[in-house]
Amino acid sequence: MVNTEETSLHVAIVPTPGMGHLIPLVEFAKISLSLVRSLFALKTSLKVLVKSTRLVALVVDLFGIEEIDVFKEFGLKPYIFFPTTAMVLQLLFHLPKLDQMFSYPVQNKKDVGYQGVLELCRRCPLVAGIMVNSFIDLEEDAFKALIESECGLPLVYPIGPLIQTGSFIGADGSNCLRWLDGQPNGSAMYVCFRSSGTLSYEQLIELAFGLEMSGQRFMWVVKSPSKKARNANYFCVESVQDPLQFLPDGFLERTKRVGLMVTSWAP
């Protein structure tokens, strides 16, 4: 009798810790494999998985693509889980060419972060496929361009939208959706600086006054300010300090009819 546990194919999921990447990837897989971020630990873990399962592929977050050579060493097909939009994915594919054409394509070329992203972009075409957290009805033209491209791009799979469905500490997605359902169609502005975006105190105050003076309905995913690092909140679902205490006096009361403040994860 065939042992189905031994013959079943397995795919390992390798997330990165940023909340904007981690949550949708976990929702996609409902399983996760946590690896210490080092080449030795990665190889050790893969050796165990290859021996114990029929491991055929690895799904990594965009920032895990730098280990692609290790995956191929074990004969595994590497796939990328891309947590944002197809339009952004198009930009990543074209960024190396834009970098050659322009002296200042999207950011200072000497910036270390930009150089890191540029290297990731160069390696994206080397994977077997990319799973995008979006759907064709939302980005039909962008997906059509990616799927029909003749530039040797990997296969692109629209698998979204993936949202957090279970309980999560501090997150109240139902409140966000209820508030949005109560607003006129197309009237609310979504303000969020991604997992890694952290404002200084001065920037936070300026943004608050700008939103208030605009009179625009808004949902603001607000994090506590920091002067130490621009990505101070990258690993956190919630801010270490209550971000609402840094807002201008009376801001919440004056904007309560048009704004919703979200201090944790927003779906």
| Catalytic annotation, pick one of 21, 137, 141, 249 | 21
- 249 labelled catalytic: no
Strand order in the sheet with 9-14: 9-14, 54-61, 77-82, 129-132, 155-158
| Catalytic annotation, pick one of 61, 99, 111, 242 | 61
Residue with tokens 């198009």: 90
Strands 155-158, 217-221: pairing is: unpaired
Strand order in the sheet with 217-221: 188-191, 217-221, 259-262
Total number of residues shown for the chain? 267
- 94 labelled catalytic: no
The catalytic site residues sit at 21, 61
